[in-house]
């Protein structure tokens, strides 16, 4: 079975674009929902059960979700800038050599992937834990 390398690279780039778009959507939605819930909780904090430790932990977890989501968005921006520089360098190198460039590693790889994966997990986990704490707090 022979693999068409340019086609495989193109498919890998499309997959990477889809993963990045999904990461961005998840981060944007979680940050928006966390901000809305946090605003509601702060507005209602003067109630009878507004000063429990569970509620304070939920505040911190929602803030952590917002922070990690924003860091994820910034990381994706840095990743796109790095890929743009790599593309430009490859185009310049290819035009100077007068032939197509066979080295596509800078185009499809990124040094930020591990960092973005950690931020994605932190964002989702902190959001879910904050929701669990809010539900637990409502039953107490």
Q: 129: pLDDT confidence band, cut at 50, 70 and 90? A: very high
pTM, two decimals, is 0.71
In the chain, the N- to C-terminal Cα span, in Å, equals: 62
Question: Binning pLDDT at 50, 70 and 90, where does residue 79 land?
Answer: confident
pLDDT at 87 over 90: no
Mean pLDDT across the chain, nearest whole number?
80
Whether pLDDT at 83 is above 70: yes
Domain boundaries, the chain: 5-43+50-139
Which residues have a Cβ under 8 Å from the Cβ of 98 and sit 6 or more positions away?
none
Q: Which residue has the higher pLDDT, 88 or 54?
A: 54
User: What Å distances lie between residue 39 and 22, 35, 63, 80, 134, CA to CA?
Assistant: 26, 6, 11, 32, 14
Half-sphere exposure at residue 39, Cβ-oriented, CA atoms within 13 angstroms: 7
CA separation for the pair 68, 121 (Å, rounded): 9
């Amino acid at each position: 079975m022979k693999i068409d390398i340019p086609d495989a690279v193109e498919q890998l780039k499309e997959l990477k674009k889809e993963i990045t778009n999904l990461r961005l959507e998840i981060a944007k939605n979680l940050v928006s929902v966390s901000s809305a819930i946090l605003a509601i909780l702060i507005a209602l904090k003067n109630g009878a059960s507004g000063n429990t430790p569970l509620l304070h932990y939920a505040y911190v977890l929602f803030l952590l979700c917002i922070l990690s989501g924003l860091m994820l968005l910034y990381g994706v921006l840095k990743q796109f800038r790095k890929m743009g520089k790599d593309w430009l360098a490859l185009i310049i190198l290819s035009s100077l050599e007068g032939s197509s460039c066979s080295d596509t590693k800078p185009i499809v790889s990124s040094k930020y992937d591990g960092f973005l994966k950690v931020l994605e997990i932190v964002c989702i986990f902190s959001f879910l834990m904050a929701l669990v704490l809010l539900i637990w707090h409502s039953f107490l």
